[in-house]
Structure 1
Amino acid sequence: MYRMLTLEQAQTAILAGVRRGERTEGVPLARAPGRWLAADVVSRVDYPGFDNSAMDGYAVRVADLADGSEARVAHREGSPTRSARSSGHKTERGGGLTAGGFRLPLSGEARCGDAPGVLAPGTAMRIFTGAPLPAGADTVVIQEDVKRENDTVVFPHRVEVDQNIRRRGEDFRAGETLYGRGRRLRDFDLALLAAAGIAEVTVCARPRALVVATGDELVAPGVPLKPGEIYESNRLTTLALLEALGAEAVDGGTAPDDPAALRALLRDAADYDFIVTSGGVSVGDHDVVKQVFVEIGKIDFWKARVKPGKPIAFGHVGNRAHFFALPGNPVSSLVTFKLFVEPALIAWHGGTPAATYLSATTTTDFHRRSGRTEFLRARLYSEDGRLCAQPLKGQGSHMVGPLRDTNGLIRVEADSAGFACGETVRVMPLDGF
């Protein structure tokens, strides 16, 4: 006899029973998005790798722009000199020269890709964004703040050290851990990894997951229906969900409600990391999945106090395979996958499962008898700066029509009798939100 578990108890039992994947492989960065790191990633270089300019402008030594230096004063506090007023020269990009300034001769330029140069004392060097800062320079004055007169540059009177300079290693240092084991890489992560000199990362090998649907009534989409038949949808959806989580999903097909047929489909079950079935897990005479898994493996629990999705089983086959027997109703299958299979896959990869919940305001009343944690399909949207949750009509676990508008689930706690319009509830956003 199996005791029915609460949602939290079932999730805890699953995570405690996950046997983390041990197989790893190296993949180039181009194939890394969506993969889970099997080892920490450490930077090979300082970033930036050298002091460089953050702006187009002029590299100078601040001491050369101080009273008593070799720089010749263009003008002091007050109005510009006559030569500055009447020369007709304008600051680059239309900027204005600030009150007070110094004149320095131009001694060259620094461009991207150049080796770092040396700034001669009492001179300025033209520099472009990303170019190495020349030795001897300690600030960059942007081109909008200077006036160029042939090979001479007039600078503002007030210039500070370290303006517009990106210092070596200010972002991260060589040897610094950039990503920890168990992190799932995103497209955005490639920019950081490439900048750190990483060409390949060590990731978890993709878990192999076998997907099987059960039911005498199931036929493939596109085939003409006979009386009593329905189109099979759970298997295709589960395959897609597994692939999206990084698994190598294997289509095991559909088995009739016959133990021998199901055993045949599962004969190599121990060679997979995950087995996910749908249907045949309730208490009817033709619900054969539980019977077969008792024969070939070990069931950790059967049934959870959730709605939709009470008839769910979890266990193991051999030393490697985790099996999930999900309900046959389409919405029950989807919800239990989200609640139980997804966290197990994350944990298998070494990640930390953590469901995302947001607070939202309900748009209608909902009343029920308490007893199970329930998840209502909902449309989430923003209005007047707040997140709203509209429970959709047709919450039966067999009703797939509302899925077209579903982008979230409203969580109703087991001891709750529902909610009133305008109350704050917890919602789980789904893809499409």
Structure 2
Amino acid sequence: MPVAEALTQILASAPAAPETETVYLEQAVARVLAESPTSPVAVPPADNSSMDGYAVRSQDCQNPATTLPISQRIPAGSAPLPLEPGTAARIFTGAEMPAGADAVVIQENATEADGHVAFSGPINAGSNVRPKGQDIALGAEVIYKGRRLQPADIGLLASTGIDSVRVYRPIKVAIISTGDELVEPGSSLGAGKIYNSNRFVLTTLLAKLGCEVVNIGRVQDDLAATTDALERAAEQADCILSTGGVSVGEEDYVKAAVEALGALQLWRMRIKPGKPLAFGHVKQIPFFGLPGNPASSLITFTLFVRPFLLKMQGAHIEPPLRLSVAAGFERSSAGSREEYMRARYENGVVHIHQNQSSGMLSSASWANGLVVVYPHQTVALGDLVEFIPFSELLN
């Protein structure tokens, strides 16, 4: 199945977001809003000065050379008096404008002496003034429901006086590692064994998404053991991820176990790497069977699992940013699958790693994103290609 069609079907199967909870802003970053907060105040709450200078009535400053007495001094945080006609007020950045004033002359364009200030006119109304509600109007929706909160969002909410928000609770995701060859880091590496890197990649990716990880552990290449692990995962988690065992080899048991306990909706995508990706349900719990090769597992997680889990947590899904950049490589032969190549974008040019083997995780560590090469597409040096930064996929 083509990538776009598979992703559409997968996202359409995402269950509704779970229950909600209220958290303070300090704990809300990366959480998904379950409400659309409205501002109890205008931001800024009053007209204020955007510069250090002098608050004036523009009508008093229409002569080519104007000198006005200074009637008051207004630092930020103080309550000003109304501006007396024919006078100026010394004012500082962020300070509230006095009633009657409609402009600020910056201090670089003014000369103060003997309690008076001189500057050249005319002065335009509104100059260097930030009007009340310029950022957020009273009662306006601050951020929309379904937004995954970023640091700037937290600051925006704080600027309105909101100190807590209602968000969706984190979902639980079970990880099952299949394969007799796997051992955990820290153990001795016997003949025919490899260290289980996939579990660590997935655990950290899930943590960045705000998910709670349920580690089911390593499962032997055995149908009964695989079936038992899937049953335990379905009892404990909102979604299940397995790595390995989803291909067509004699020692691949995940597909059969899933079909015995539920159903597979999708199996085998028109993608490289990651062709044996599987998606379905185990006892009504969503299930992803990721390839065992580390690079394939990472790439399929970012493209399919990440948006699915975000939608499960109530997030509004936005496609990742794709940049059109110059290719620093050539591809003379066209493939039949949509290929995601580990690549590094620097100084306006993107280069691919020399080894695109699905078993190589070092190439992903070297890369800062993925180049997309579509079926039947060739690439010449300097051609524009699509590049997806990892910052769009791993956050």
How far has the Cα of 1:230 moved from its partner? 1.0
**TM-superposition CA deviations, 1:110-133 (whole Å, max 9, x none):** 222222312223332222222221
Q: Does 1:169 align with 2:133?
A: yes
SS in structure 1 of the partner of residue 108 of structure 2: helix
Moved more, 146-155 or 27-36: 146-155
Matched with 2:12 is 16
Paired residues of 1:29 and 1:201 also in contact (CA < 8 A): yes
Q: Cα offset for 1:105?
A: 2.6
Pick from 359, 364, 376 the counterpart of residue 415 of structure 1.
Answer: 376
* 1:292-303 aligned within 5 A: 292-303=257-268
Query: Could you say which residue in structure 1 is the equivalent of 2:253?
Result: 288
Q: Distance in 2 between matches of 1:103 and 1:431?
A: 55
Q: CA deviation at 1:369?
A: 5.7
Q: In 2, distance between residues paired with 1:261 and 1:424?
A: 48
Q: Per the alignment, do residues 53 and 395 of structure 1 end up closer, same or farther by CA in structure 2, a change over 3 Å counting?
A: closer
Change (3 A) 1:164 1:230: same
Instruction: Return the alpha-carbon distance in structure 2 between the equivalents of residues 215 and 10 of structure 1.
Output: 26
SS in 2 for 1:376: strand
Aligned-partner residue type, residue 145 of structure 1: N
Contact 2:56 2:87 in 1 (8 A): yes
* Superposition deviation, residue 137 in structure 1: 2.0
CA separation of 1:310 and 1:146: change in aligned 2, threshold 3 A: closer
Structure 1 partner of 2:177:
213
Q: Which of the residues 359, 366, 377 maps onto 1:398?
A: 359
How far apart in 1 are the matches of 2:132 and 2:392?
Answer: 41
| Kept after mapping to 1: 8 A contact 2:44/2:133 | yes
1:35–1:203 contact (8 Å) kept in structure 2? yes
Query: Aligned in 2, Cα 1:287/1:60: closer, same or farther, shift over 3 Å?
Result: same
Q: What is the SS of the residue equivalent to 1:260?
A: helix
Match of 1:426 among 377, 386, 391: 386
- In 2, Cα distance between equivalents of 1:424 and 1:164: 43
3-state DSSP class of the match of 1:346? helix
- Tell me how far apart the structure 1 counterparts of residues 365 and 236 of structure 2 sit (CA, whole Å): 36
Could you tell me whether the CA contact under 8 Å between 1:407 and 1:432 is conserved in 2?
no
After TM superposition, give the deviation of residue 264 of structure 1 in Å. Answer: 3.3
Aligned-residue offset at 1:66: 5.2
Contact kept in structure 2, 1:315 and 1:322, CA below 8 Å:
yes
Structure 2 matches for 1:69-108, cutoff 5 A? 100-108=64-72
Q: Classify 1:391/1:120 alpha carbon distance in 2 versus 1 (closer, same or farther; 3 Å).
A: closer
**Alpha-carbon distance between aligned partners in 1 of 2:133 and 2:121, rounded to the nearest angstrom:** 30
Change (3 A) 1:219 1:41: same
Deviation per CA, 1:31-81, whole angstroms, max 9, x where unpaired?
2221111221222211110112222222222333457xxxxxxxxxxxxxx
Aligned partner (choices 246, 250, 257) of residue 210 of structure 2: 246
Q: Is the 8 A contact 1:270 1:317 kept in 2?
A: no
Which moved further from structure 2: 104-113 or 228-237? 104-113
Q: 1:369 to 1:103 in 2, by over 3 A?
A: closer
What is the root-mean-square deviation of aligned Cα atoms in Å? 2.1
Aligned to 1:178: 142
Structure 2 letter corresponding to 1:47: V
Q: Structure 1 length normalisation: TM-score?
A: 0.84
Distance, in Å, in 1 between the alignment partners of 2:243 and 2:30 is 26
Q: Percent sequence identity over matched residues?
A: 41
Aligned residue in 1 for 2:78: 114
Give the aligned residue type for 1:426. E
Question: Which residue is 1:70 aligned to?
Answer: none
Give the equivalent residue in structure 2 for 1:80. none
Match of 2:238 in 1: 273
Is 1:347–1:353's contact at 8 Å kept on the other side of the alignment?
no
The AA in structure 2 aligned to 1:304 is M
Shift of 1:152: 2.6
Q: For 1:356 and 1:108, how far apart are their aligned partners in 2?
A: 51
1:9 maps to a residue whose letter is E
Match of 1:51 in 2: 47
Tell me what 1:146 maps to: 110
Structure 2 length-normalised TM: 0.92
Range moving further from structure 2, 273-282 or 398-407 = 398-407
- Please state how far the C-alpha of 1:16 moved relative to its aligned partner: 1.3
Residues in 2 aligned to 1:14 and 1:371: alpha-carbon distance in whole angstroms: 22
| Match of residue 24, structure 2, among 16, 23, 28 | 28
Q: 1:65 to 1:301 in 2, by over 3 A?
A: closer
Q: Show the counterpart of 1:42.
A: 38
Q: Secondary structure at the residue paired with 1:188?
A: helix
Unaligned residue ranges in structure 2 (runs of 5+): none
Q: CA deviation at 1:324?
A: 0.2
Match of residue 191 from structure 1: 155
Contact 1:117–1:133 (CA under 8 A) maintained in structure 2:
no
CA displacement at 1:14 relative to structure 2: 0.3
The answer on whether the counterparts of 2:17 and 2:311 sit within 8 Å (CA) in structure 1 is no
Tell me which residue corresponds to 1:378. Answer: 343
Residue in 2 that maps onto 1:366:
331
- In 2: Cα distance, 1:298 partner to 1:220 partner: 30
Match of 1:201 in 2: 165
Amino acid at match of 2:79: A
Q: In the alignment, what sits opposite 1:351?
A: 316
Check the 8 A contact 2:233/2:240 in 1, yes or no.
no
Distance in 2 between the 1:403 and 1:157 partners? 61
Secondary structure of the residue that 2:151 maps to in structure 1? coil
State the Cα distance separating 1:253 from its structure 2 match.
1.4
